Amino acid sequence: MATVGLIPRLAREAAAELAREMAHWLEARGHTAMVEEEAGVPGAPSAPGREIAARADLLVVLGGDGTLIHAAGLCNDREVPILGVNMGALGFLTEVPRERAFPLLEKALNGDLAISQRLMLDVEVRYRDQALLSGTVLNDAVISKNALSRLATLEVMVDSRPATTYEADGVIVATPTGSTAYSLSAAGPIVVPSLDAVLLTPICPHALTQRPLVLPPSSVVRVRLGSPSEMFVTLDGARGRPLEIGQEVWIQPSHRRTLILRNPEVDHFTILREKLRWGTR
């Protein structure tokens, strides 16, 4: 029998109600169900999120893409399959609609769903020999300006060689999974998530020739702030710190992957057509 962790979207009653229903459904079939304690769902067994991820055979996300990214961050070095049930509006990662949650959960427990192994990036903010911030991202590392900041000078190295210098509001280093997140809003390319690559997307560059780049998945990217601009580094929209002149952000492929269980009833282009409203006017 399996141990299943349920990760509902915070402050969403519909997600909490589905978590309770799903916990009872699992227990009736002999499985162990635990709801993330931080979600505050009464009437269901619960435990801290990281404790659940350390024990679970399967994680079920009840929310949107942000909730799934949160669940991936709970796993640390474990690669736990994640089934995403979409309880939000715009979900590229949570592929399962609410009405298909239980049939596809049953398939997941039987091992009948394909797994998409998503590239992650290890990120570290450094100053000289000191690590100021570190973490692993599924979507992106974003270097962006604060509200009153001026245009920044961002010196980019790829595999220890000078690549370019951006005069811009910032830069996004993203995975293919993150290509439909902030990078897309900054005119970055959409990359099929089964392809391993690293995306480098400038934010409002002060030159028409500064275009987004797609790099090999083995690339080590280093971004140094070369101007006294007020900048901030954000990891998957959840953690961050200010970036000061002379400090560097190092990004490289992680040894760990996020395992997302695929909905066999849709493919990547079905999701893109639906979410981005391709073909409509």
- Quick one: 127 and 236 in the same domain? yes
**Which pTM value belongs to this model?**
0.94
Question: Residue 101 maps to which CATH number?
Answer: 3.40.50.10330
- Quick one: 161 and 143 in the same domain? yes
Q: Are 191 and 107 in contact (CB under 8 A)?
A: no
- Quick one: 54 and 82 in the same domain? yes
- Sequential pLDDT tens for the chain (281 residues): 899 999 999 878 999 999 999 999 999 999 999 999 999 899 899 999 999 999 999 999 999 999 999 999 999 889 999 999 998 766 799 999 999 999 999 999 999 999 999 999 999 999 999 999 999 999 999 999 987 778 999 999 999 999 999 999 999 999 999 999 999 999 999 999 999 999 999 999 998 889 999 999 999 999 999 999 899 999 999 999 999 999 999 999 999 999 999 999 999 998 899 888 887 77
- Quick one: 53 and 146 in the same domain? no
Could you list the residue range(s) of the whole structural domain that residue 106 is in?
3-114+262-276
- Quick one: 110 and 219 in the same domain? no
- Quick one: 93 and 137 in the same domain? no
In a domain, 281, yes or no: no
3-class SS shares of the chain: helix, strand, coil, % to 5: 25, 40, 35
In a domain, 220, yes or no: yes
> Buried b vs exposed e over 18-39: b needs ≥16 C-beta within 10 Å?
bbbebbebbeeeebbbbbbebb
Q: Are 260 and 118 in contact (CB under 8 A)?
A: yes
- Quick one: 97 and 44 in the same domain? yes
Question: Residue 245 maps to which CATH number?
Answer: 2.60.200.30
Asked about 65 being catalytic, the answer comes back as yes
Instruction: State residue 139's pLDDT score.
Output: 98
- Quick one: 129 and 22 in the same domain? no
- Quick one: 175 and 73 in the same domain? no
Q: Which of 65, 140, 169, 236 is catalytic?
A: 65
Closest by CA to 52, choosing from 30, 19, 29, 11, is 19
In a domain, 173, yes or no: yes
Listed in order, strand segments (DSSP E) in the chain are 3-8, 32-36, 46-47, 58-63, 82-86, 96-97, 115-127, 130-137, 140-145, 152-158, 161-168, 170-174, 198-203, 213-215, 221-225, 231-235, 239-243, 248-261
- Quick one: 156 and 217 in the same domain? yes
- Quick one: 130 and 229 in the same domain? yes
Closest by CA to 90, choosing from 180, 193, 156, 209, is 180
What's the number of domains the chain is made of?
Answer: 2
In a domain, 109, yes or no: yes
- Quick one: 126 and 209 in the same domain? yes
